[in-house]
Structure 1
Amino acid sequence: MLAVTLTKPVCRLGISMAAVVLLTSACAVAPGMRMQTSRLQDTPDSSNASVSSGETRANTASEKADATSGTPEIAITELDAALISRLGQSRKQQQLELSQMLSGTPQAYVVGAGDVLQIVVWDHPELAAALGSSQTQSSARPADPLAGFVIDQNGDLTFPYAGTLHVAGLRTDEIRQSLSGALAKYFVKPQVTVRMASYRAHQVYVDGEVRSPGALALNDVPMTLYEAVSRVGGFSETADQSDLVLVRDGQSHRVNLTQMLDQGLSPSRLYLKAGDVLRVMSRDENDVYVMGEVNKPVSAIPRRTGRITLADALSQAGSVNASTADAAQMFVIRGSLTGEPQVFRLDGHSPVAMLLAKDFELQPKDVVYVDGSGLVRFNRVLSLLMPLISTGLTAGVIAK
Structure 2
Amino acid sequence: MYRFQPVRATFVRRSMTAALVALLNACSFAPGWRMPVVPDAASGQATGGASATGTHIEATAATPDIPVTELSLGLAQRLTAERKSARNRRVSRLLGAPPAYTVGRGDVLQIVVWDHPEFAAALGSAQNPAASKAGDPAAGFVVDQSGNLHFPYAGALPVAGLRTEQIQARLTAALSKYLVKPQVTVRMASFRAREVYVDGEVNSPGALPVTDVPLNLYDAIARAGGLRESGDQSDLVLVRGGASYRIDLTEMLAEGLSPSQLYLKSGDLLRVTSRDENNVYVAGEVNKPGVALPRRDGRLSLADALAQAGSINSSTADTAQMFVIRAGKDAPEVFHLDSRSPVAMLVAQEFDLRPKDIVYVDGNGLVRFNRVMTLLMPLVNTGLTAGIIAK
TM range (shorter): 0.7 to 0.9
- Given the alignment of the two structures, is residue 63 of structure 1 paired with residue 64 of structure 2, yes or no? no
How far the C-alpha of 1:182 sits from its partner, in A, is 1.2
* Cα gap change, 1:259 to 1:67, in 2 (>3 Å): farther
- Given the alignment of the two structures, is residue 212 of structure 1 paired with residue 204 of structure 2, yes or no? yes
Are 2:123 and 2:139, in contact at CA under 8 Å, matched by a contact in 1?
A: yes
Q: Which residue of 2 aligns with 1:29?
A: 29
Give aligned-pair identity as a percent. 60
Amino acid at match of 1:306: G
* Cα gap change, 1:340 to 1:241, in 2 (>3 Å): farther
Q: Which residue of 2 aligns with 1:73?
A: 65
- Given the alignment of the two structures, is residue 146 of structure 1 paired with residue 166 of structure 2, yes or no? no
- Given the alignment of the two structures, is residue 246 of structure 1 paired with residue 238 of structure 2, yes or no? yes
Amino acid at match of 2:38: R
How far the C-alpha of 1:63 sits from its partner, in A, is 2.7
- Given the alignment of the two structures, is residue 178 of structure 1 paired with residue 170 of structure 2, yes or no? yes
* Cα gap change, 1:35 to 1:166, in 2 (>3 Å): farther
- Given the alignment of the two structures, is residue 83 of structure 1 paired with residue 75 of structure 2, yes or no? yes
Q: Which residue of 1 aligns with 2:92?
A: 100
Q: Deviations over 1:275-295 (max 9, x none)?
A: 000011011111111111111
C-alpha distance in structure 1 between counterparts of 2:242 and 2:362, whole Å: 43
C-alpha distance in structure 1 between counterparts of 2:39 and 2:260, whole Å: 48
Q: Which residue of 1 aligns with 2:214?
A: 222
- Given the alignment of the two structures, is residue 130 of structure 1 paired with residue 129 of structure 2, yes or no? no
C-alpha distance in structure 1 between counterparts of 2:305 and 2:94, whole Å: 32
Say which of 339, 342, 363 aligns to 2:354.
Answer: 363
Local SS of the residue matching 2:102: coil
How far the C-alpha of 1:335 sits from its partner, in A, is 1.4
Are 2:19 and 2:383, in contact at CA under 8 Å, matched by a contact in 1?
A: no
Q: Which residue of 2 aligns with 1:266?
A: 258
Local SS of the residue matching 1:39: coil
Where do residues 216-365 of structure 1 align in structure 2 (5 Å cutoff)? 216-336=208-328, 338-365=329-356
Are 1:65 and 1:76, in contact at CA under 8 Å, matched by a contact in 2?
A: no
C-alpha distance in structure 2 between counterparts of 1:240 and 1:68, whole Å: 41
* Cα gap change, 1:305 to 1:214, in 2 (>3 Å): same
Q: Deviations over 1:195-249 (max 9, x none)?
A: 1011110000001100000100011111101100000110011111111111101
Local SS of the residue matching 2:93: helix
Are 2:16 and 2:380, in contact at CA under 8 Å, matched by a contact in 1?
A: no
* Cα gap change, 1:89 to 1:303, in 2 (>3 Å): same
Q: Deviations over 1:344-384 (max 9, x none)?
A: 11111123211111221111111111111122212222333
- Given the alignment of the two structures, is residue 373 of structure 1 paired with residue 372 of structure 2, yes or no? no
Are 2:233 and 2:249, in contact at CA under 8 Å, matched by a contact in 1?
A: yes
How far the C-alpha of 1:40 sits from its partner, in A, is 6.1
Mark the runs of 5 or more structure 1 residues left unpaired by the alignment: 1-14, 51-57
* Cα gap change, 1:163 to 1:398, in 2 (>3 Å): closer
Q: Which residue of 2 aligns with 1:54?
A: none
- Given the alignment of the two structures, is residue 188 of structure 1 paired with residue 177 of structure 2, yes or no? no
How many residues are treated as equivalent by the alignment?
A: 374
C-alpha distance in structure 2 between counterparts of 1:399 and 1:147, whole Å: 102
* Cα gap change, 1:394 to 1:149, in 2 (>3 Å): closer
* Cα gap change, 1:135 to 1:187, in 2 (>3 Å): closer
C-alpha distance in structure 2 between counterparts of 1:130 and 1:397, whole Å: 108
* Cα gap change, 1:27 to 1:68, in 2 (>3 Å): same
Are 1:289 and 1:368, in contact at CA under 8 Å, matched by a contact in 2?
A: yes
How far the C-alpha of 1:133 sits from its partner, in A, is 6.1
C-alpha distance in structure 1 between counterparts of 2:105 and 2:378, whole Å: 81
C-alpha distance in structure 1 between counterparts of 2:385 and 2:192, whole Å: 88
C-alpha distance in structure 1 between counterparts of 2:170 and 2:371, whole Å: 87
* Cα gap change, 1:35 to 1:110, in 2 (>3 Å): farther
Higher relative contact order (CA 8 A, sep 6+): 2
How far the C-alpha of 1:258 sits from its partner, in A, is 1.6
How far the C-alpha of 1:399 sits from its partner, in A, is 5.0
